[in-house]
Amino acid sequence: MNDILLKNINKPNSTDIDVYMANGGYSALNKTLSEYTPKDVIDIVQKSGLRGRGGAGFPTGKKWEFAAADKNTPRYLLCNADEGEPGTYKDRPIIEKDPHQLIEGIIISGYAIGAAACYIYIRGEYAYGADVLRRAIAQAYKKDFLGKKILGKKFDFDLYVHKGAGAYVCGEETALIESIEGKRGQSRIKPPFPVNVGVWNKPTVINNVETLANVSHIVKNGPDWFKAMGPEKCPGPKIYSISGHVNKPGNYELIMGTPLKDLIYKYGGGIKDGKNLKAIIPGGASTPVLKPEHIDVNMDYESVGAVGSMLGSGAVMVMDETVCMVVVNNEGKIEDIDLMLDICDNMKGKTFCPLGDGAINPVLSTIKHFKDEYLIHIEEKRCPVNYRHSRYCL
């Protein structure tokens, strides 16, 4: 497929608003304000089947519908650009090289839910990206795409950049809200959900960068165009971040549901140095590890879930045969395995947010698939991976 979300990133001066507009940028916003009511836009996104690209995969249009139905105003839109999941770097090129694609999607989304403003919550380490966004936002204000009576319509909308301070937990939506409010970044108990009680206790929609970047394309090309790409339950383009022991790591924009085998061998160039594949983390460091026997799985929410892991953010981390799966401190006892399993059982489903489950997934999945490596380290006090080519004990 031809790139949709990443098509502009290598064009000269791609962050400039005039370059973006010369390539069709902001035409979807013009179309939205000229032809559609807010409800029309929600219906279009619902019909497209767009699901959140941040990890949870919740239907985007349904989330918008919930917030728009709440009469408590003002409403807010939050863009989650706190890309902190290890292995994930899919949002960064959009932020740094095509910011107006994101901004246009944000404005259309804000119009759909009746939001007064949006805050882009960007991870503190993305200082350059934050500067790019601020310059792009200033350009959008000058073109009358932001502010009062946008393009002469009865639509007021403001956009701000809010830098985080490096806390991983603030990628979780309610911790992100707490941080924006100036509080400690700590997850809230749900319910109530942010669509009803969000930032400053107002109805709030939180969408990921990649999710929002899709919106202008859906409005411009129609929901059927989007729905025709990929699986029926989760269509559209998906940016996969491939890293680890592959020959060609990087971001690859492909159709949702592309087989894992193709990601590694067709696009990632195969395993480096002719080594054998040992393990794959399919959706970022907090998702359960898969083995080579799962190589034919399609990379969409349902298919990856069916083999015991999660698509997450689509961050595919590839490990070859030289990797040992055990963190080694040479103090392990056989009863430690049962202790770890017991601790994991006590944590599962019992935390304020899914990050608690994310912390136990690597432990549970490596014990499930590579228990022999734990046992050899404990009982024989040696690494089961050949020392001559072993590079890592995780």
Answer yes or no: do 137 and 264 share one domain: no
Output the six-digit token pair for 164: 């985080």
6 lies in some domain: no
Backbone angles phi, psi at 223, to 5 degrees: -65, -30
Backbone angles phi, psi at 103, to 5 degrees: -60, -45
The last residue of a domain, from among 159, 192, 225: 225
Pick the closest to residue 176 from 167, 168, 185, 184 (CA basis): 185
Pick the closest to residue 315 from 246, 358, 245, 251 (CA basis): 251
87 lies in some domain: yes
CATH number at residue 279: 3.10.20.600
Answer yes or no: do 140 and 288 share one domain: no
Which pLDDT value is given to residue 387? 54
Q: In what order do the strands lie in the sheet with 75-81?
A: 158-163, 115-122, 75-81, 204-208
Output the six-digit token pair for 228: 């025709």
- Whole-angstrom distance, CA of residue 192 vs CA of residue 350: 17
With 0-12 CB in 10 A as exposed, 13-18 as middle and 19+ as buried, what is 389?
A: exposed
Mean pLDDT, all residues of the chain: 94
The last residue of a domain, from among 225, 247, 272: 225
- Domain residue limits at 147: 17-225
Which residues, in sequence order, are bridge partners of residue 298? 259
Query: Is 120 within 8 Å of 160 (Cβ atoms)?
Result: yes
359 lies in some domain: yes
pLDDT single digits (tens) 131-186: 999 999 999 999 999 999 999 999 999 999 999 998 989 999 999 999 999 999 99
Query: Is 92 within 8 Å of 126 (Cβ atoms)?
Result: yes
CATH number at residue 34: 3.40.50.11540
Query: Is 223 within 8 Å of 45 (Cβ atoms)?
Result: yes
Query: Is 83 within 8 Å of 284 (Cβ atoms)?
Result: no
Which residues, in sequence order, are bridge partners of residue 323? 392
7 lies in some domain: no
231 lies in some domain: no
- Whole-angstrom distance, CA of residue 148 vs CA of residue 87: 40
Above 80 in pLDDT, residue 263?
A: yes
265 lies in some domain: yes
Structural domain tally of the chain? 3
Reported residue count of the chain is 394
Answer yes or no: do 193 and 150 share one domain: yes
Answer yes or no: do 295 and 178 share one domain: no
Which pLDDT value is given to residue 389? 46
- Whole-angstrom distance, CA of residue 126 vs CA of residue 164: 9
Q: How confident is the model at residue 388 (pLDDT cuts 50, 70, 90)?
A: very low
Query: Is 161 within 8 Å of 130 (Cβ atoms)?
Result: yes
Predicted TM-score (pTM) of this structure? 0.93
381 lies in some domain: yes
287 lies in some domain: yes
Answer yes or no: do 95 and 135 share one domain: yes
Answer yes or no: do 173 and 31 share one domain: yes
Query: Is 181 within 8 Å of 191 (Cβ atoms)?
Result: no
Which pLDDT value is given to residue 364? 93
Pick the closest to residue 100 from 180, 2, 212 (CA basis): 212
Provide the pairing of β-strand 237-244 with 250-255. Answer: antiparallel
Answer yes or no: do 28 and 149 share one domain: yes
Answer yes or no: do 175 and 213 share one domain: yes
Mean pLDDT of 368-377: 93
Q: What is the residue type of 307?
A: V
Above 70 in pLDDT, residue 361?
A: yes
The total of other beta-carbon atoms located within 10 Å of residue 182's CB is 6
pLDDT single digits (tens) 287-297: 999 999 999 99
Provide the pairing of β-strand 75-81 with 204-208. Answer: parallel
Answer yes or no: do 26 and 103 share one domain: yes
Share of the chain above pLDDT 70, in %: 98
Answer yes or no: do 245 and 316 share one domain: yes
